[in-house]
Amino acid sequence: MNAEPGPAASFPADPSPAEPARTGTDPVRADPALAEPVRFDTKIAVLLREDLEPWQRLNVTAFLVSGLGSSVPEVVGEPYADADGVGYLPMFRQPVLVFEGTKETLTAAHGKALSRALPRALFTSDLFTTGNDRDNRAAVRAVATADLDLVGLAVYGPRNAVDKVVKGARMHH
């Protein structure tokens, strides 16, 4: 998804000179307040086990972030509309940072997320063999917390708390 440009994510609102001119009304140019950099006190992070196949990485990421979007309403922004007024669903209001690490890194991150009581979603290796939500929940319910074979974890919370959870992981590339 988006890479984090530095310790405090900010995103320039003004297009670069190389960007083609926009047609219609540009809300950024019409409202100077929209040109201010956006900074977030919170972070959304997904941590994937490094040995996943590419299709698994995509599948796990999609499932994990759906858990955050449905359970933590403040992460979702306003609906979108194009210049013709066609509406689109709202999406996260901030970047999702995707990390990767070893099985041990994932297990440690899970423990940290639990100890900090951060909103979290998990994906275990067992979920690759199920085909529906009912069976997914049953597969997780059948395994003790310490024995979960984690392949993915999503967390949301204050920047510093999430940074501590993903410490030791590297940005996915």
pLDDT tens digits, 73-125? 999 999 999 999 999 999 999 999 999 999 999 999 999 999 999 999 999 99
Residue 38, pLDDT score: 79
Residue 29, pLDDT score: 55
**Residue 3: pLDDT band by 50, 70, 90 thresholds?**
very low
Cα angle for residues 51, 55, 61 (degrees, 5° grid): 80
Cβ count near 43 (within 10 Å): 22
Instruction: Give the side-chain half-sphere CA count within 13 A for 28.
Output: 11
Are residues 12 and 35 in contact, defined by beta-carbon separation less than 8 angstroms? no
If one compares 143 and 33, the residue with the highest pLDDT of the two is 143
pLDDT greater than 50 at residue 40: yes
Question: Torsions phi, psi of 106, nearest 5?
Answer: -65, -40
Q: Exposed, middle or buried, 17 (CB in 10 Å: 0-12/13-18/19+)?
A: exposed
Are residues 152 and 59 in contact, defined by beta-carbon separation less than 8 angstroms? no
Instruction: Give the side-chain half-sphere CA count within 13 A for 130.
Output: 14
The tokens for 76 are 């979702």
Q: What is the distance of C-alpha 148 from the center of its chain?
A: 21
Are residues 28 and 35 in contact, defined by beta-carbon separation less than 8 angstroms? yes
Nearest to 171 by CA among 6, 43, 42, 4: 4
**Residue 34: pLDDT band by 50, 70, 90 thresholds?**
low
pLDDT tens digits, 115-170? 999 999 999 999 999 989 999 999 999 999 999 999 999 999 999 999 999 999 98
* Three-class SS state of 81: strand
